[in-house]
Amino acid sequence: MHPRGGGQPSDVGTITSGEVVAGNVGPDAIVATIRDVTIDRSTGVVVHAGVVVVPRDASFLADAYSSPDEVTLPWLFPPGSNVVVRVDPDRRLLNSECHTAGHVVDAAMARCDASLSPVKGYHFADGPYVEYDGKIDARERDAFLVVLRAAFQELIDDDMPTEIRSLPSYEAGALCDRPASDNDDDDGTIVRVVKVAGRHTPCGGTHVRSTGELRGRGWCVRGLKCKGGRVRVRYGPAEG
């Protein structure tokens, strides 16, 4: 499952160990309901956290119980055993739409010639936003918001395809308009680059196939707030 990170929440779903035939879980199956997924970037180890349901009459677990109320957990998913991983498709789609919409916000800002540098993206459905370093004059905010909303909608209406590539760091830096000094050496690092609404960005998140897929929920720019030298652009699906 896709881990939490890059400004978006993780996948959720189930991991099933034991016999699964045509979608049906056998009597000895163990089902883990996964509620959060994280990754240790230094080791590449992905941790799936959740709740495990163990059938007490499972024949192959008979020796694992040390008492009526305890079970030796390492027996549940032995190394090398087969499991079936199911990602919740509704959660994955919502996460992907939300993350893509955040990139469209950034592309719309660029289309509006806003000379602001993005510093943070919060691509969670409970109140997503993209934050920028800089200011917009109070007298210009209302007019700027009108233009930004129009640019965002145009990018959705253009139904621009999403492209995902894995590139050496120096190529990724050049493609994403990073300073030349950062692109000189090939240190062997591979960077995942996502192109959304015509704009390349290093990104490890999930995305929908094109900006047109944001029409269904009516994703839009909801407003902006300026405080402490930062501009926060709020976005989300249509309300009501």
Q: For residue range 122-143, what is the model confidence (pLDDT) as tens digits? A: 999 999 999 999 999 999 999 9
Predicted TM-score (pTM) of the model is 0.86
Which residues neighbour 127 within 8 Å (Cβ) at sequence distance 6 or greater?
234, 236
5 domain-assigned: no
The predicted-structure confidence for 150-180, as pLDDT tens digits, reads as follows 999 999 999 999 999 999 988 998 888 765 5
What is the residue-averaged pLDDT of the chain?
87
pLDDT band per the 50, 70, 90 thresholds, residue 184: low
> Percent of the chain, pLDDT > 70?
82
Give the structural domain span for 119: 91-236
Statement: residue 68 has pLDDT above 60: no
| Same domain assignment for residues 213 and 126 | yes
Question: Would you say residue 109 lies in a domain?
Answer: yes
Concatenated DSSP letters for 169-234? Answer: HHHHHHHTT--GGGTS---S-EEEEEEETTEEEE--S---SBGGGGTTTT-EEEEEEEETTEEEEE
Write down which residue in 68, 87, 106 finishes a domain.
Answer: 87
| CATH label of the domain that carries residue 161 | 3.30.980.10
Average pLDDT over residues 58-87: 67
Whether 112 has a pLDDT exceeding 90, the answer reads yes
Range name among 49-63, 107-121, 192-206 with the lowest pLDDT average: 49-63
Looking at 37, 60, 87, the residue that finishes a domain is 87
Number of domains in the chain: 2
The answer on 193 and 170 residing in a single domain is: yes
Mean pLDDT of 87-116: 95
Same domain, 120 and 194: yes
Are 232 and 113 found together in one domain?
yes
Which of 192, 193, 205, 217 has its CA nearest to residue 124?
205
Are residue 100 and residue 82 in the same domain, yes or no? no
